[in-house]
Amino acid sequence: MMMKAAFYEGNRTIRVGEGLSVPPRTGEVQIEVSHAGICGTDLHIFHGHMDKRVSFPHVMGHEMSGVIHALGEGVTGYGVGDRVTVMPLSPCGQCPACSAGHNHICQNLKFLGIETPGAFQSLWTVPAFTLHRLPDSLSLEHGAMIEPLAVACHDVRIGEVTSGEYIVVLGGGPIGMLIALVAREAGAKVLISEINPFRLELAKALGLDTINPKEADIVEYVNKQTGMAGADVVFEVTSSAAGAEVMTRLPRTRGRIVVVGIFTQPPKVDLHRFFWRELKMSGARVYEHEDFEKAIQLSASGQLPLDRLITEIYPLERLEEGFRQMESGSSVMKILLKCS
């Protein structure tokens, strides 16, 4: 069967055209993809930073929603027509991390949409174990937001955020904004630090406290807000040297830092501050199944303003335009693609 897909061909080139769909084998399902979100990882692939991990021509994309189109042999618990999203991780099941129950950070992990073809196509074949069912009450547009929301749920869980705590999120992009919303839903008071005017205005419109660190002293502000104690939890989502420098200056004694951003170069970090205040720092990578279920529950509850985070919904043919819009740093939060 023919299907439509967006193919990355290297050198910042995208070709949208027809290709042969992959019939589901034993233990697999074929999904008619409804919507797929453009992620910062997809932009990195487009820029050529991950060419060693992909095969050309490559179909990227991993944030999605859709309807099961066909089942491979041995698949139970799902049927044609079921509404689903995909947790795009394929662990080896045999390495020390998997043996310890940490399949999501498998030492040989394959990420669907990077090491394997992804969701920017009308028919996508994936292992059945990656599926999560979407409730009928949840729109497929919001279903495509489950994967990044699961990232935020995982980050907040790793940070052990509880009601009444003071939280600082460094970076107000899609993941930072979702972390802030999930933390607020947990009962925390949240401050977002961001320099992009559009993101600052959006955060304010969503009822979040904000600060532009280029215009005000964030350490002084946090100390004032907390009676000189400092934040309970700081989430570093900027992947910047400035974020790594300030993240240790914000927490209270025995406060927590969660590193969410991906640093391509090792940053300078004040380890004396860690000693002096007995700080705790955790890395937070992707998600686990419970985070996906939490994200689905939160989305279906209607408690999160997901509509406000979706800036545009483009047809698949406009993927490259979506990348250009993200590159420009313009007024954009999350762009979804209509794939079928």
Q: Which of 44, 102, 132, 289 is catalytic?
A: 44
Q: Which of 35, 41, 62, 248 is catalytic?
A: 41
**Three-class DSSP labels, the chain:** CEEEEEEECCCCCEEEEEEECCCCCCCEEEEEEEEEECCHHHHHHHCCCCCCCCCCCECCCCEEEEEEEEECCCCCCCCCCCEEEECCEECCCCCHHHHCCCHHHCCCCEEECCCECCCCECEEEEEHHHEEECCCCCCHHHHCCHHHHHHHHHHHHHCCCCCCCEEEEECCCHHHHHHHHHHHHCCCEEEEECCCHHHHHHHHHCCCEEECCCCCCHHHHHHHHCCCCCEEEEEECCCCHHHHHHCCCCEEEEEEEEECCCCCCCCCCCHHHHHHHCCEEEECCCCCHHHHHHHHHHHHHCCCCHHHHEEEEEEHHHHHHHHHHHHCCCCCCEEEEECC
Residue 47 annotated in active site: no
Residue 44 annotated in active site: yes
**Which residues belong to the active site?**
41, 44
